[in-house]
Amino acid sequence: MILHPFKLHLPIASTIFPRYISSVIQLYPFIMADTGLVETLLRRVEKVDGGLDSQDVATSLGVDHQAIVGAVKSLQALGDVISAEQRSAKHWELTGEGCEIAEQGSHEARVISSIPEEGMPQSQLMKLAFGKVGFSKAMSNKWIRLDKGHEGGPRIFKTVESLEDLVRDKLLLVQKGQASQLEEKEKNELKKRKLLSEVTVKFYWITKGSCFSTTITKQETELTPEMIASGSWKEKKFKPYNFEAMGVAPDCGHLHPLMKVRTQFRQIFLEMGFTEMPTNNFIESSFWNFDSLFQPQQHPARDQHDTFFLSDPAQAHEFPQDYLERVRKVHSEGGFGSQGYKYDWKIEEAQKNILRTHTTAVSARMLYKLAQQENFTPVKYFSIDRVFRNETLDATHLAEFHQIEGVVADYGLTLGDLMGILHQFFNKLGITKLRFKPAYNPYTEPSMEVFSYHEGLKKWVEVGNSGMFRPEMLLPMGLPEGVTVIAWGLSLERPTMIKYGINNIRELVGHKVNLQMVYDSPVCRLDS
């Protein structure tokens, strides 16, 4: 292909690039996992029959579990050295209060050890941190008695000398990892007292893989010219790409002025109730770009000097056959009340693949699709996307630009409707003075160039092209008689250059774009 199709992306590369960089960085933690730890893990896996629990490995090595997970992941990336299955298990843990009791004893036990033989005023006990809960538990266990009539206020006496602190003993068992010695009922009771909680832990069950080895060779991440020249690449192992890496969203970025203006145009169409057409095919067959639009095969636009032809694949082969036949007929013999062009229409010419020269090719596809509906419904469509022309490059022309196109189909639309809608559309852009000049397009009749008065330049400038699609285009598609379609098109670059005061299109699009221009161009407001 002669063109660089992504030329326009250059200015916004700054917003794409950080994603690329960050996805590389994302891979890094795995590449850089502590090699010592990886080797230790491999030696442990080698020795064990069966498998290893990554949590146990972490505990016995005294490292964070995440570090083991990192080692597992970097080994997984090497192929089938180990197999690591993610499992989860529930286990019991002491809560904060549970830990305190395991250390200092239960509240009720601490009450007993605080009360001397001669007893203690109740008010004094209540002042202690464990006093309240401890008092009521010890009372219900009948470990203490309360003498309410005691002179000097209610007084508490012990009724037992020593006791077994069962709650503490149970908690200590859990702390030692021997929770299985307790009955389910006991554990649930401690859970109710908020001394124990049941937690789910995720871990890897690690076993030897089919390529298990304790020595690992680092995988190559890059194929170098030297490897190719020496043939050493044949022996090397390459790290597979991680297509899953998410990348980090860039903190900020700048939209290219063309994209800002595009947003505004899109907004205007949406406000007017238009639906966007799918324009995601830069390559189009001559059939949809020209023939379906009743553009004769000898038309100069279909020449190498005006259009980019594809060499591979040079031809398109899939067309709706009956429609293709009707197109052939209307060109060569006429029909639908038209004389046609009376020439020998050739399928070979229609099959030629090109870079679309206008988005009207997309409109043609959409109108054909509309005609295939069982019942016709009125539509309002728009598109804003790139088109390509083999132009001589100068200050205002490039070999590619964006077209903005609007299409309205309904019964009985007139030239007056077209003028009305153009007024409405351009009004929303802040352009109020419009003039129309008769023009010629192979696919529209009548056709009008649209001019607006430019207050700055103090003259009328062309802002668009428009017309009513010919019956020779619409009727072969199968649209009902009486349905008319009005349409107009303009470029995105021209209003953008006017809006941002750019005189040379190469300062707006292409490799010479100054990124500072992209940063400095403010948000676009077309109506002001």
Q: Residue 487, interface with ligand PHE (CB under 6 A)?
A: yes
Stated as kind and residue range, the H or E segment containing 521 is none
Which region among 134-142, 254-262, 451-459, 464-472 touches ligand PHE (by CB under 6 A)?
A: 464-472
Q: Which two tokens stand for residue 304?
A: 């190498």
Alpha helices in 141-216 (DSSP H): 166-175, 184-192
Q: Residue 307, interface with ligand PHE (CB under 6 A)?
A: no
Residue 30 CB, nearest distance to ligand PHE (Å)?
52
> Could you give the CA distance from residue 151 to residue 121 in angstroms, rounded to a whole number?
10
Which region among 63-71, 126-134, 208-216, 487-495 touches ligand PHE (by CB under 6 A)?
A: 487-495
Residue 300 CB, nearest distance to ligand PHE (Å)?
14
* CB of 307 or CB of 360, closer to ligand PHE: 360
CA 267 to chain centre: 22
Collapsing DSSP to helix, strand or coil, 283 comes out as strand
Q: Residue 358, interface with ligand PHE (CB under 6 A)?
A: yes
Q: Residue 444, interface with ligand PHE (CB under 6 A)?
A: yes
The set of residues, in sequence order, having a beta carbon less than 8 Å from that of 390 and lying 6+ positions away, is 304, 305, 306, 307, 308, 399
Cβ burial of 223 (10 Å; 0-12, 13-18, 19+) is exposed
Site mask for ligand PHE (CB under 6 A), range 423-442, x = bound = ------------------x-
Residue 254 CB, nearest distance to ligand PHE (Å)?
30
Which region among 14-22, 35-43, 98-106, 481-489 touches ligand PHE (by CB under 6 A)?
A: 481-489
* CB of 467 or CB of 495, closer to ligand PHE: 467
Residue 291 CB, nearest distance to ligand PHE (Å)?
15
Stated as kind and residue range, the H or E segment containing 285 is strand 283-285
Strand 144-147 relative to strand 155-158, pairing = antiparallel
Determine the straight-line distance between the first and last CA of the chain, rounded to whole angstroms.
Answer: 41
Q: Residue 289, interface with ligand PHE (CB under 6 A)?
A: no
Out of 75, 488, 500, 521, which residue is the one contacting ligand PHE (CB under 6 A)?
488
Out of 54, 295, 307, 360, which residue is the one contacting ligand PHE (CB under 6 A)?
360
Which region among 3-11, 101-109, 482-490, 499-507 touches ligand PHE (by CB under 6 A)?
A: 482-490
Out of 465, 484, 496, 521, which residue is the one contacting ligand PHE (CB under 6 A)?
465
* CB of 397 or CB of 512, closer to ligand PHE: 397
Q: Residue 345, interface with ligand PHE (CB under 6 A)?
A: no
Strand 459-469 relative to strand 434-441, pairing = unpaired
* CB of 466 or CB of 484, closer to ligand PHE: 466
Residue 239 near residue 221 (C-beta atoms within 8 A): yes
Q: Residue 484, interface with ligand PHE (CB under 6 A)?
A: no
Site mask for ligand PHE (CB under 6 A), range 362-401, x = bound = ----------------------------------------
Cβ burial of 271 (10 Å; 0-12, 13-18, 19+) is exposed
Backbone angles phi, psi at 326, to 5 degrees: -65, -35
Residue 433 CB, nearest distance to ligand PHE (Å)?
21
> Could you give the CA distance from residue 58 to residue 344 in angstroms, rounded to a whole number?
81
* CB of 158 or CB of 302, closer to ligand PHE: 302
Q: Residue 292, interface with ligand PHE (CB under 6 A)?
A: no
Residue 350 CB, nearest distance to ligand PHE (Å)?
18
Print the SS3 string covering 340-389: CCCCCCCHHHHHEEEECCCCHHHHHHHHHHHHCCCCCCCEEEEEEEEEEC
Collapsing DSSP to helix, strand or coil, 232 comes out as helix
Residue 434 CB, nearest distance to ligand PHE (Å)?
16
Q: Residue 286, interface with ligand PHE (CB under 6 A)?
A: no
Residue 363 CB, nearest distance to ligand PHE (Å)?
7
Residues 41-100 that bind ligand PHE (CB under 6 A): none
Compute how many residues bind ligand PHE; rule: CB under 6 A.
11
If one counts every other C-beta atom within 10 angstroms of the C-beta of residue 266, the result is 16
Q: Residue 466, interface with ligand PHE (CB under 6 A)?
A: yes
* CB of 30 or CB of 382, closer to ligand PHE: 382
Collapsing DSSP to helix, strand or coil, 72 comes out as helix
Closest CA to 254 of 500, 472, 11, 526: 11
Residue 446 near residue 438 (C-beta atoms within 8 A): yes
> Could you give the CA distance from residue 73 to residue 68 in angstroms, rounded to a whole number?
9
Site mask for ligand PHE (CB under 6 A), range 489-508, x = bound = x-------------------
> Could you give the CA distance from residue 462 to residue 452 in angstroms, rounded to a whole number?
6
Residue 483 near residue 474 (C-beta atoms within 8 A): yes
Q: Residue 467, interface with ligand PHE (CB under 6 A)?
A: yes
Which region among 104-112, 188-196, 242-250, 486-494 touches ligand PHE (by CB under 6 A)?
A: 486-494
Q: Residue 405, interface with ligand PHE (CB under 6 A)?
A: yes
> Could you give the CA distance from residue 301 to residue 381 in angstroms, rounded to a whole number?
25
* CB of 155 or CB of 358, closer to ligand PHE: 358
Find tokens 């699709």 and name the residue: 369
> Could you give the CA distance from residue 515 to residue 281 in angstroms, rounded to a whole number?
28
- Contacting positions for ligand PHE (CB under 6 A): 358, 360, 405, 441, 444, 465-467, 487-489
